[in-house]
Structure 1
Amino acid sequence: METPNSGSWSELPMDILRFLLERLSFVDIHRAKMVCRNWYLCSKQTVRKRSESPLVMLSSEDDCALFNPEEDRVYKTKRDFSGTRFLANSGNWFLALDSGSNLYIEHAFREKKRINLPPLESIKSELFSLKRVGEKEFNERRVGCFLEKGFSQMVKDLRGLLWVDEGKEEYTVAWFFVKGAEYIAFCKKGEDYYRTVPTRKGVHFMSQGISDMVLRGDFLYVYTTRRYVRLLDLSGQEGFREVTKRSFILPFLPASPQNWDEITYADRLKVSYNIAVTRSGDVLLVESILFKASRSEILPRRMFHLYKTDPNPDSDDILYGENLSFEVHSLGDEALLLDSGITVPADPTLGIEPNSIYFTRHDRVRNFVQEPSCPDICVFNLATKKLTRFPNLSCFFKPKDALWFLPS
């Protein structure tokens, strides 16, 4: 049989091509989409649409894998990810830090699709400088600081965010060091250095510090240590622009829900907060509560609550800083990927649960303790309060970290 040339592969009859695609695993389907336009269009018409459900990127000390909850199956990768740490993701793209402390962007399904980013020490700032002193350590100096030798920053304390627009083939990357958190560094496609956003010096005290961040397009949402939301526009050529809205100025001060489902205060092990941005641009505060497991349970229970700032609070509330937010009980036809801090359209036929929160860990961006939390890969339905975990996952892979993502 004559081997088809590269041009004839795109000319296969649609019924034959559909027959082949329907028998591929979900990983191979995503790879097949990239062969040519005809293969992409045919893949969208196949019955295996469930391959577009949220997936989990798993990583350990020296390996990584993809977990498909719909199939309850783990797919190992052939690529060498030893010493690699995944910081964030956007669609099929992941922001990664290799063993040499170099940042890059990696595609989940294209094995040779890697974009190297500028070195961390290439920041251009009138306030800060960064110098590499080893594979895992940098020396940070601040203008006017009395410490002549600077400040030591370790790569284990590096946190990052990523946004990729695959249609325009553009990306934005932001990162900062947890220890100190004096600035946020960012760059866009085509730039060979990082610009900085001060988080303390020259910043209003209510907007200082970082508790959590969300990157949505060129807009960076920063949840400050005083529970305010700072909105930054990173699209300019000269730097960033403060565009904080009035509704973001009010702090999130959620009151305890009236109904604790008969779980007492003493049963709570940990309460943490993250922010999220909906498709319409609303900012939500996500409260995650971890409870002690009862005698009949193996794993601890987890509960989530969503809050939104009150756009028209009473003057007395503003004066005393109380009741400035209200609880949101539904995401409607959207699902929240908390690792990215964004909502996506939900479709049960594609395996995307509406009105649900996809969760792996609360300290994705900010880590207040010495050791990061262990992954807790789960899906929480806001309407039914049902928490779905994947207990069989540990039989296939013992992850040190995990990230939910929605293939694009």
Structure 2
Amino acid sequence: MASPPLSLDCWSKLPLDLMQLIFEHLSFVDFERAKSVCSSWLSGSRQSKPNNKIPWMILFPEEKNYCLLFNPEDKEEKLYKTQHLDKHWADSFCLATCRSWLLMETFHEVHLYIFNLLTLERIDLPKSLSYGSDSPILWIDERSKDYLIIRNDLTYFKKGDNSWKKEISVQLSDNQNGMVFKDHKLYGLTEDELRIFDFSGEFPLQVSRVSVRGCVKLEKVSRMRWPEPWAFNQLRRRNNVVVTLRGDVLIVRSKSPNGSYSWNFRIFKMDSSNEKIKWEEIFSLGDEAIILDLGITVLAKDQEGVTSNSIYFNAQDTSQYFADIFVFNLDTKKVEQLPQVVSSVLLSGARWFLPNFKND
């Protein structure tokens, strides 16, 4: 005989540990909905955190001391305005993200700092780090606040009260196309090869140099006719390195003709099963989706707001002056521009980030 359905009164009397287990499996949007079930669930939510796996977009209004957040999971496509942030926020722009941490640089004084968008914590960085590439790497430990910054040929790592710098210019910075840092490994893509460094030890160690000839194709970038910006053209002729959830290394080639709003993407996967490493072109990501700005994939199966077997990208890959979000569907080979999330606000930048509500 089937058990009778639980009444609302029964749901409100769930043990706290069971309630916490439910909350910690919910996405951010479902977490917010569950809080309104009853007073006991609201109380239980205060001791739990949502399990967010969906990347959000942070938008930077010009000369404002706040930012706007766009959560693709929210079907109402709302923009959420933050409280007033750091006093230097309006005079800063974002160089990189690591979960909820942002690497910020001030416009006038050329100074770097790390800022947590959720906790409002700030870490000022040494002045020696204020010069380097426009696409640096940021990594930070949530608990200890140890951090790693990589800008071109300068690596700066702080652990406890000690820190070290190490020049890696010969191995990394020449003809640099892009970098991704994941699981204590740095993947640097040049015109000729992929260079992998291991940062798990006392000092960074180069562990591999893999030729990318055949899957990285360089194209001459020419200036476009006004009014379309030249920086937007660069996005359309680009090679990106991406690391998947399982640790597979991909190279994503993107191209779009001048003056066209159509894109073409090709994906190559590194095959290291044999002695000679090869690149194999793949045509499906399965249940995953690529967030090109972050150089990662996310699980898209059964996730609201993210379509599987797709590539999410925006003009932020080369310029901070666009907030349009695009998605390329590998099944249909079509590009869709997601609904405009900003209509009247003048922006100075946009970035994808993975909000982290837990300290692990």
In structure 1, the residue matched to 2:5 is: none
1:393 and 2:357 are equivalent in the alignment: no
Deviation at 1:91, TM superposition (A): 1.9
Q: What SS does the aligned partner of 2:91 have?
A: coil
Q: Give 1:131-170 correspondences, 5 Å limit.
A: 157-166=133-142, 169=144
Query: Could you tell me which amino acid in structure 2 is paired with residue 120 of structure 1?
Result: K
1:303 is aligned, of 244, 264, 267, to 264
Q: Give 1:245-284 correspondences, 5 Å limit.
A: 248-254=209-215, 270-284=236-250
Deviation at 1:86, TM superposition (A): 1.1
In structure 2, the residue matched to 1:85 is: 93
1:199 is aligned, of 169, 181, 184, to 169
Deviation at 1:404, TM superposition (A): 1.6
In structure 2, the residue matched to 1:355 is: 309
2:150 is aligned, of 175, 178, 188, to 175
In structure 1, the residue matched to 2:70 is: 67
Q: Distance in 2 between matches of 1:231 and 1:215?
A: 10
Query: Could you tell me which amino acid in structure 1 is paired with residue 343 of structure 2?
Result: C
Identical columns (%): 29
1:234 and 2:199 are equivalent in the alignment: yes
Q: Distance in 1 between matches of 2:173 and 2:268?
A: 20
Query: Could you tell me which amino acid in structure 1 is paired with residue 84 of structure 2?
Result: R
Q: Would you say how many aligned residue pairs link Structure 1 and Structure 2?
A: 306
Q: Distance in 1 between matches of 2:279 and 2:344?
A: 42
Tell me if the contact between 2:293 and 2:317 (Cα under 8 Å) persists in the aligned partners: no
Deviations 1:309-359 (A, max 9, x none): 4548999xx9xxxxx633211111222221121122223333332222221
Q: Give 1:277-292 correspondences, 5 Å limit.
A: 277-292=243-258
Q: Give 1:188-227 correspondences, 5 Å limit.
A: 188-190=158-160, 193-200=163-170, 203=171, 208-224=174-190, 226-227=191-192
Q: Distance in 1 between matches of 2:204 and 2:164?
A: 12
Query: Could you tell me which amino acid in structure 1 is paired with residue 112 of structure 2?
Result: L
In structure 1, the residue matched to 2:354 is: 406
Q: Distance in 1 between matches of 2:212 and 2:113?
A: 35
In structure 1, the residue matched to 2:294 is: 340
Deviation at 1:230, TM superposition (A): 0.8
- When structure 1 is superposed on structure 2, of 213-222 and 390-399 the one drifting more is 390-399
Q: Distance in 1 between matches of 2:173 and 2:103?
A: 26
Structure 1: gaps (5+ residues): 1-11, 124-137, 139-152, 257-268, 295-299, 319-323, 365-370
1:113 is aligned, of 95, 116, 121, to 121
Q: What SS does the aligned partner of 2:176 have?
A: coil
Q: What SS does the aligned partner of 2:342 have?
A: helix
Tell me if the contact between 2:316 and 2:351 (Cα under 8 Å) persists in the aligned partners: no
Tell me if the contact between 2:216 and 2:239 (Cα under 8 Å) persists in the aligned partners: no
Tell me if the contact between 1:207 and 1:228 (Cα under 8 Å) persists in the aligned partners: no
Query: Could you tell me which amino acid in structure 2 is paired with residue 240 of structure 1?
Result: P
Deviation at 1:285, TM superposition (A): 0.7
Q: Distance in 1 between matches of 2:321 and 2:242?
A: 20
Normalization by structure 1: what TM-score? 0.63
CA gap of 1:28–1:363, structure 2 versus 1, over 3 A, is: same
Query: Could you tell me which amino acid in structure 1 is paired with residue 194 of structure 2?
Result: V
Q: What SS does the aligned partner of 1:175 have?
A: strand
CA gap of 1:29–1:289, structure 2 versus 1, over 3 A, is: same
Structure 2: gaps (5+ residues): 1-11, 36-41, 218-232
CA gap of 1:302–1:60, structure 2 versus 1, over 3 A, is: farther
Deviation at 1:43, TM superposition (A): 5.7
Q: What SS does the aligned partner of 1:254 have?
A: coil
Deviations 1:256-306 (A, max 9, x none): 9xxxxxxxxxxxx64211111112222111111123566xxxxx1223221
Q: Which 4+ residue blocks in structure 1 deviate beyond 6 angstroms?
A: 12-18, 312-315
In structure 1, the residue matched to 2:55 is: 54
In structure 2, the residue matched to 1:384 is: 332
Q: Distance in 2 between matches of 1:188 and 1:345?
A: 31
